[in-house]
Amino acid sequence: MDLLSDVLVVDLTRALAGPHAAMMFGDLGARVIKVESPTGDDTRLWGPPFIGEGDQRESTYFMSCNRNKEAVTADLKSDDGKDFLRRLVRQADVLMENFRPGVLDRLGFSVEELHRINPGLVILSITGFGHDGPEGGRAGYDQIAQGEAGLMSLTGAGPDEPTKVGVPIGDLLAGMYGAYGVVAALHERARTGRGRVVRTSLLAGIVGVHAFQGTRHTVAGEVPTAIGNHHASIAPYGLFRTADAAVQIAVGSEALWSRFAPVVGIDVADPRFATNELRVAHRPELIGEIEGAFAAAGAEAWLEQLNEAGVPAGKVRTLDDVYSWEQTLSQGLLIEVDHPTAGPIQLPGPPLRFDDNAFAGARKSHLAPPLLGQHDASVRAWLDEVDADAEQGGLS
């Protein structure tokens, strides 16, 4: 049985952070009902690229974060829309929202009201910069959050070239942290019977992964800056040019250094490079010597030598290469779904597996990202059945 098959998620979220969190639940078998305004999630219009034509045109951006969901529409400013949401909330285990602070309250669905309707409801609230504090009301867009949360100052060729990460990592991290918090709240609810509110933000998600860069500042008093494709605290660890392409190496211990140095003709005991601290201090010289050696052959030849020496190394793949790579396919990271208008399409797959060489616990098959309002009729019919059963039970 799917791990979360007994969980119903009402997904009020738009864009990426919240939809990603809800999709994580859908991937593990939860029933996820995505509630959109009659005009739909903004990401349905985020393109190109699109697939299809005319009124069957669909955004590939929307498809990236909405698999394994049903889709319904409701105008939450209308009486009918409010009543529809109340009916969903009564049945739900989880409600996810990423409105700006105060929006749900103004619509009549404050935390107090949601818990009056369903005391066991776990509520996930994702914001841009937090639900309170001096800037809690700011709108949250990923690239702005990457800059405000310091990530861009750590990324790029150097301190004068702040660079965003190539995916909306603030959104994705907030979604993942949010899902993690919801699982904890559901675990608590099993003991108490009461739901609670889980809050996170793009700001929190990014600060949460500052890792060693954060403690460089909070403990050591340093202000880290971008240094390109090399590790701030380990050398050699990064991207190096060969005669025809770049390779990446990770010499993360003295034992690895003793294996790597002879491959590129460096004396292991060279006083400039004898310890990691010295190698970091003399990084420009070290890079020059390594790339000088690497210039004698191409990437594949060097990767073969490094592999034989037991030194972690790899190539920089483009996405077409990644999605045709046998290792990617072996991990179930590419799935096929049957889309209502586009037909069979392939999507990046869920990143979790359970048990050896099995996908038990997660879905055996996946639902395509839904069309706008695709499940309006079926979800409303289900709610009618639930309400009728409840009314009959109350009369018996």
Of 94-108, 222-236, 314-328, 348-362, minimum mean pLDDT range? 348-362
pTM (whole model) above 0.85: yes
Residue 360 confidence (pLDDT): 46
CATH number of domain containing 269: 3.30.1540.10
Mean pLDDT value of segment 175-202: 98
* 124 and 263 belong to one structural domain: no
Tell me if 68 sits within 8 A of 32, measured CB to CB.
yes
Q: How many CB atoms lie within 10 A of CB 174?
A: 32
Decide which of 272, 289, 314 is a domain's last residue. 314
For residue 83, tell me if it sits in a domain: yes
So what's the pLDDT on residue 213? 97
* 221 found inside a domain: no
Averaged pLDDT, 138-157: 96
Q: What is the CATH number of the domain that holds 368?
A: 3.40.50.10540
Residue range 359-368, pLDDT digits in tens: 545 677 899 9
Indicate the residue type of 342.
A
- Provide DSSP, 168-232: -HHHHHHHHHHHHHHHHHHHHHHHHS---EEEEEHHHHHHTT-HHHHHHHHTT-------SSB-S
Q: What is the mean pLDDT of residues 11-20?
A: 97
SS3 content of the chain, % helix, strand, coil (to 5): 40, 15, 45
pLDDT of 362: 65
Q: Is the pLDDT of residue 195 over 70?
A: yes
What is the structure's pLDDT at 55?
A: 84
Residue that terminates a domain, selected from 279, 314, 349:
314
Give me the mean pLDDT over the 151-172 stretch. 97
Same domain, 77 and 170: yes
* Domain total in the chain: 2
Residues sharing a CB contact under 8 Å with residue 77, sequence separation 6 or more, in sequence order: 107
Mean pLDDT of 138-150: 96
What is the per-residue pLDDT across 66-119, written as a single tens digit (0 to 9) for each? 999 999 999 999 999 999 999 999 999 999 999 999 999 999 999 999 999 999
222 is a domain residue = no
Same domain, 33 and 178: yes
Residue 358 has pLDDT above 60, yes or no: no
Q: Check pLDDT > 70 for residue 38.
A: yes
Instruction: Mark which of 268, 285, 314 sits at the end of a domain.
Output: 314
Clarify whether 171 is annotated catalytic: yes
Whether residue 224 is contained in a domain is answered as no
Q: Which of 356, 354, 283, 350 is nearest to 67 (CA)?
A: 350
Q: Would you call 353 exposed, middle or buried from its count of C-beta atoms within 10 A (0-12, 13-18, 19+)?
A: middle
**Shared domain check, 332 and 187:** yes
34 and 95, same domain (yes or no): yes
Strands (E), 22-129: 31-36, 50-51, 58-59, 70-73, 94-97, 122-127
The pairing of beta strand 237-241 with beta strand 197-201: unpaired
Separation CA 375–CA 32 (nearest Å): 11
By percentage, how much of the chain surpasses pLDDT 90? 92
Q: State whether 364 and 283 are in the same domain.
A: no
183 and 298 within one domain: no
* Res 120 pLDDT > 80: yes
Question: Which band of pLDDT confidence, cut at 50, 70 and 90, is reported for residue 1?
Answer: low
**Residue 336 near residue 345 (C-beta atoms within 8 A):** yes
Cα distances (Å, whole numbers) of residue 64 to 15, 47, 72, 142, 302 = 10, 12, 18, 16, 36
Same domain, 46 and 183: yes
Residue 87 and residue 32 share a domain: yes
Q: Considering the domain boundaries, does residue 386 fall inside one?
A: yes
| pLDDT, tens digit, 9 for 90 and up, residues 240-274 | 999 999 999 999 999 999 999 999 999 999 999 99
**Residue 395: per-residue pLDDT:** 59
Average per-residue pLDDT for the chain: 95
Q: Is 375 within a domain?
A: yes
**104 lies in a domain?**
yes
Domain that holds residue 167: 8-209+326-395
| Rounded-to-10 torsion of CA 46, 51, 56, 60 | -40
Is there a single domain that holds both residue 291 and residue 366? Answer: no
Question: Does residue 279 sit in the same domain as residue 338?
Answer: no
Band of the pLDDT at 396, cuts 50, 70, 90?
Answer: low
Q: Do 27 and 153 lie in a common domain?
A: yes
Which of 3-7, 52-56, 208-212, 318-322 has the least mean pLDDT?
52-56
Report the pLDDT averaged over residues 133-139.
Answer: 92
- For the segment 238-247, what is each residue's pLDDT rounded down to a tens digit? 999 999 999 9
Q: For residue 330, is it within any domain?
A: yes
Burial letters for 302-323: b for 16+ Cβ neighbours within 10 Å, e otherwise? bbeebeebebebeeeeeeeeee
Confidence of residue 392 (pLDDT cuts 50, 70, 90): confident
Catalytic: which of 171, 270, 320, 338?
Answer: 171
